[in-house]
């Protein structure tokens, strides 16, 4: 995909649809000259100052007036892309916007590919790779907290942290390499502890960043909550009760097949994805077996599992064994909440408390909504107390690519520490450190491959 950057590109930067205005972005060496040829106005865009807005009419090749517009001119390097840019605000609507864009494309201008403006911004040093990714994250953010983290990332909070860590590692490596130069002369310039100390500190910070990924991922993608239990325990009813309580914006999952039902709500700025699953039971019915298989897949992937039990009955041996299996299927970070449902049918709620269960238990009625708000609170508490990281307190990573780069950095730092302990020669240690420096540099794009760049920018929308 890596496109040439010496040509001029244009695209509609606002959503396609009916709106008061649309914005068409034109960027590149010829941007101002090109637009000025199509801009009928008392102002010549070639002579205006950067960051100024001008009224005029867009005309096509034949000289016909297409629309009345405002052109905002940005001169390099003070634009989003770092190149000369004109943003044309025209009247909204699909037909009109496309016509205006087509007038610009009549000139020597090519339609921009997805993410190409941001790609140019990255190439021109306007932002590093993690900031470019934050642009996409902001556009796609689905919750208040996710948006907040992405904004911090765009402002360079993560980049700053990464550059600091990288600088420390570069320092440690140069100390080692200096040592290597003098080794023949038998001069010891630094003691191993200094290098060891730097590496140990960096390793701790890398681990902390990795730990933040749990919360970061949740803030970005939402918390997946699986509602499970034997048939008729009240899974669907409880799902509706939670959605009613939370006044959910009910959205369907994209895609064609609906093997299970997923609905969303937000609570305290975090998105929750509630998944209603096929009832668990021992059965010989082939279709049901398939459904139950999928339920187990969902359980494995979910952040929180709510096991719904009909409180009007005893806990069945079958239910106990499902609960055991859920615990085994769950990763360590998973929270399991037992919801004793249908308490409206009980006279005395305390009768149903289960002894010897180490899980969080709540009592609900999907019918009267009693206890439902408490269940919502418990879901949120179970996620945010398993990990003490508070959003806003520390740098949080939300991106799988960053997590993987940190994972490699961690391994290389650990290997360097082992080499130091084993008193291996400086060359070995320096080699690991060089690897760690490269790995951590990938996050901000100091080290990239075409594949990485393609992967990142292809996810953008056109016009960004």
Could you say which DSSP state residue 250 is in? -
Of residues 366 and 413, the one with the C-beta less far from ligand GDP: 366
Contact window for ligand GDP (CB under 6 A) among 139-147, 210-218, 228-236, 413-421: 228-236
316 binds ligand GDP (CB under 6 A): no
Binding ligand GDP (rule: CB under 6 A), the pick from 196, 205, 245, 344 is 344
237 binds ligand GDP (CB under 6 A): yes
Contact window for ligand GDP (CB under 6 A) among 8-16, 227-235, 283-291, 445-453: 227-235
Q: What is the edge-to-edge ordering of all strands in the sheet holding 85-91?
A: 39-40, 52-59, 65-74, 85-91, 21-27, 8-12, 109-111
309 binds ligand GDP (CB under 6 A): no
233 binds ligand GDP (CB under 6 A): yes
295 binds ligand GDP (CB under 6 A): no
If you search the block for the tokens 């990714």, which residue do you land on?
133
245 binds ligand GDP (CB under 6 A): no
Of residues 167 and 318, the one with the C-beta less far from ligand GDP: 318
340 binds ligand GDP (CB under 6 A): no
- Across 268-369, the runs of DSSP E, i.e. the strands, are 270-276, 304-310, 335-341, 360-363
Q: What is the footprint of ligand GDP within residues 365-404 (CB under 6 A)?
A: 365-367
The DSSP bridge partners found for residue 8 are 109
Binding ligand GDP (rule: CB under 6 A), the pick from 235, 273, 334, 402 is 235
Is 324 exposed, middle or buried (CB count within 10 Å of its CB: 0-12, 13-18, 19+)? exposed
Is 51 exposed, middle or buried (CB count within 10 Å of its CB: 0-12, 13-18, 19+)? exposed
82 binds ligand GDP (CB under 6 A): no
What does the alpha-carbon distance between residue 422 and residue 204 come to, in Å, rounded to a whole number?
Answer: 21
> Which is nearest to 29 in space by CA: 72, 69, 86, 71?
86
Binding ligand GDP (rule: CB under 6 A), the pick from 19, 231, 269, 392 is 231
Of residues 341 and 419, the one with the C-beta less far from ligand GDP: 341
Least distance to ligand GDP, CB of residue 356, Å: 24
- Across 5-64, the runs of DSSP E, i.e. the strands, are 8-12, 21-27, 39-40, 52-59
Binding ligand GDP (rule: CB under 6 A), the pick from 41, 43, 142, 236 is 236
Which phi and psi (to 5°) does residue 138 adopt? -65, -45
130 binds ligand GDP (CB under 6 A): no
345 binds ligand GDP (CB under 6 A): yes
Of residues 220 and 235, the one with the C-beta less far from ligand GDP: 235
How long a stretch of residues is the chain? 464
If you search the block for the tokens 């609905």, which residue do you land on?
263
Least distance to ligand GDP, CB of residue 352, Å: 13
Q: How many residues of this chain bind ligand GDP (CB under 6 A)? A: 16
279 binds ligand GDP (CB under 6 A): yes
Angle between helices 400-421 and 192-221 (to 10 degrees): 160
Of residues 279 and 445, the one with the C-beta less far from ligand GDP: 279
Contacts of 24 (CB under 8 A, 6+ apart): 10, 11, 12, 13, 87, 88, 90, 97, 100, 101, 104
81 binds ligand GDP (CB under 6 A): no
What does the alpha-carbon distance between residue 267 and residue 246 come to, in Å, rounded to a whole number?
Answer: 7
Tell me the residue number closest to ligand GDP, measured at CB.
234
Task: Tell me the three state secondary structure of residue 91.
Answer: strand
* Cα 53 versus chain centre, distance: 35
41 binds ligand GDP (CB under 6 A): no
Binding ligand GDP (rule: CB under 6 A), the pick from 22, 97, 224, 341 is 341
What does the alpha-carbon distance between residue 88 and residue 69 come to, in Å, rounded to a whole number?
Answer: 7
Least distance to ligand GDP, CB of residue 261, Å: 10
Contact window for ligand GDP (CB under 6 A) among 23-31, 191-199, 360-368, 418-426: 360-368
Least distance to ligand GDP, CB of residue 277, Å: 9
Binding site for ligand GDP (CB under 6 A): 229, 231-237, 279, 341-342, 344-345, 365-367
């Amino acid at each position: 995909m890596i496109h040439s950057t010496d040509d001029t590109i244009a695209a509609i930067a606002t959503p396609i649809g009916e709106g008061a205005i649309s914005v068409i972005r034109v960027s590149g060496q010829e941007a101002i000259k090109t637009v000025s040829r199509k801009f009928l106005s008392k102002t010549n865009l070639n002579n205006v100052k950067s960051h100024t807005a001008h009224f005029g009419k867009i005309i096509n090749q034949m000289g016909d007036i297409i629309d009345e517009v405002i052109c905002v001119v940005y001169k390099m390097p003070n634009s989003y892309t770092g190149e000369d840019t004109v943003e044309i605000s025209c009247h909204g609507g699909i037909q009109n916007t496309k016509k205006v864009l087509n007038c610009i494309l009549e000139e020597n201008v090519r339609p921009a590919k997805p993410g190409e403006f941001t790609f140019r911004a990255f190439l021109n040093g306007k932002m590093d790779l993690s900031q470019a990714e934050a642009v996409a994250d902001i556009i796609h953010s689905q919750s208040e907290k996710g948006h907040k983290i992405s904004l911090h990332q765009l402002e360079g909070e993560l980049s700053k942290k990464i550059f600091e860590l990288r600088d420390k590692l570069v320092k440690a490596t140069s100390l080692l390499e200096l040592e290597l130069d003098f080794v023949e002369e038998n001069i010891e310039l630094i003691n191993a502890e200094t290098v060891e100390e730097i590496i140990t500190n960096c390793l701790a910070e890398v681990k902390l960043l990795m730990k933040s990924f749990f919360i970061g991922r949740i803030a970005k993608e939402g918390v997946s909550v699986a509602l499970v239990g034997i048939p008729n325990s009240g899974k669907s009813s409880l799902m509706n009760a939670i959605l009613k309580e939370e006044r959910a914006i009910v959205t369907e999952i994209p895609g064609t097949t609906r093997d299970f039902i997923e609905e969303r709500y937000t609570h305290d700025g975090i998105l929750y994805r509630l998944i209603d699953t096929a009832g668990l039971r021992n059965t010989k019915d082939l279709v049901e077996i398939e459904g139950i298989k999928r339920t187990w897949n969902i359980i494995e992937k979910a952040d929180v599992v709510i096991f719904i039990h009909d409180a009007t009955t005893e806990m069945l041996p079958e239910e106990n064994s499902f609960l055991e299996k859920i615990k085994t299927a769950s990763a360590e970070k998973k929270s399991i909440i037992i919801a004793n449902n249908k308490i409206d049918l009980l006279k005395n709620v305390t009768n149903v408390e289960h002894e010897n269960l180490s899980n969080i238990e709540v009592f609900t009625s999907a019918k009267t909504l009693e206890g439902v708000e408490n269940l919502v609170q418990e879901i949120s508490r179970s996620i945010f107390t398993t990990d003490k990281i508070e959003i806003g307190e520390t740098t949080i990573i939300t991106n799988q690519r960053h997590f993987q780069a940190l994972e490699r950095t961690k391994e290389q730092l650990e290997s360097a520490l082992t080499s130091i302990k084993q008193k291996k020669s400086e060359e070995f240690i320096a080699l690991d450190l060089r690897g760690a420096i490269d790995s951590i540099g990938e996050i901000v794009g100091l080290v990239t491959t075409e594949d990485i760049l393609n992967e990142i920018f292809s996810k953008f929308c056109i016009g960004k």
